[in-house]
Amino acid sequence: MGWLSRHSLAISSIVLLVSSVLLAVVFGYAALIAYSGLAAGTALASVLMELAVPYLPIVALLLVLVVVSGTVATWSALRRLSIPRSERFGTAAERIEDRYPVVDGLGISEFVSPPEPTTEDALADLKRQYVAGELDEAAFERKLDRLVANESVDDVRAERERRAVLDESSNGSGR
């Protein structure tokens, strides 16, 4: 994760605050000039036309800054929220991403899906089941052996081949 993405909330919040204040100052100054022009008896249309030429690009730039920085600040804040992760949310987000490709680039499904269980998580769950009495010693040892054997791709292939050989020998001996 880069420096910019780690600090995006702070940067976008500062840009939002500064551009909003500048926009308010520009609008206030324009309103003051328009009011003084109207008080002097000048037509409103001519006062607004005189203000539009120098201030319209500044207002447009500040509006763009406010919208973009507000969007980035909102998105950064939402990404930092503690959103519950579940299979149901992950599946719903995947369906939305499949249906609307524009949303797919945001990675919402990865954000709301629970993380893949690690070997350590599976081992901790297995120990919990054994301590709680849900597994006897033989079942615990069998599952522990399977868990340790499945740690690498080579071990998984070896386990499949061993099962295939055992299946063939059990089918051949049962005839």
Q: Cα dihedral angle (67, 72, 75, 77), rounded to 10 degrees? A: -110
Share above pLDDT 90 across residues of the chain, in percent, rounded to a whole number: 17
User: Pick the residue with more confidence: 157 or 7?
Assistant: 7
The predicted model gives 101-105 an average pLDDT of 77
**What is the overall mean pLDDT for the chain?**
81
The predicted model gives 146-161 an average pLDDT of 64
pLDDT at 175 over 50: no
The Cα 73–Cα 80 span in angstroms is 11
Residues 6+ apart with CB under 8 A from 72: 8, 12
The token pair at 9 is 């909330």
Interval 65-77: pLDDT, tens: 999 999 999 888 8
Per-residue model confidence (pLDDT) at position 18: 95
Q: C-alpha distances in angstroms, 106 versus 6, 13, 62, 113?
A: 17, 21, 26, 14
Interval 130-147: pLDDT, tens: 888 888 888 888 888 887
Give the start-to-end residue ranges of the domains of the chain. 3-81, 83-115, 119-173
Per residue, what are the HEC states of 37-67?
A: HHHCCCCHHHHHHHHHHHHHHHHHHHHHHHH
> Distance between the two ends of the chain, CA-based, in angstroms?
60
Residue 90's nearest CA partner among 124, 121, 114, 64 is 114
Share above pLDDT 70 across residues of the chain, in percent, rounded to a whole number: 84
Per-residue model confidence (pLDDT) at position 17: 95
Q: Is residue 170 very low, low, confident or very high in pLDDT (cuts 50, 70, 90)?
A: low
Residue 36's nearest CA partner among 50, 25, 22 is 50
Q: Is residue 157 very low, low, confident or very high in pLDDT (cuts 50, 70, 90)?
A: low
pTM of full prediction above 0.85: no
Within 13 A of 158's CA, how many CA atoms are on the CB side?
9
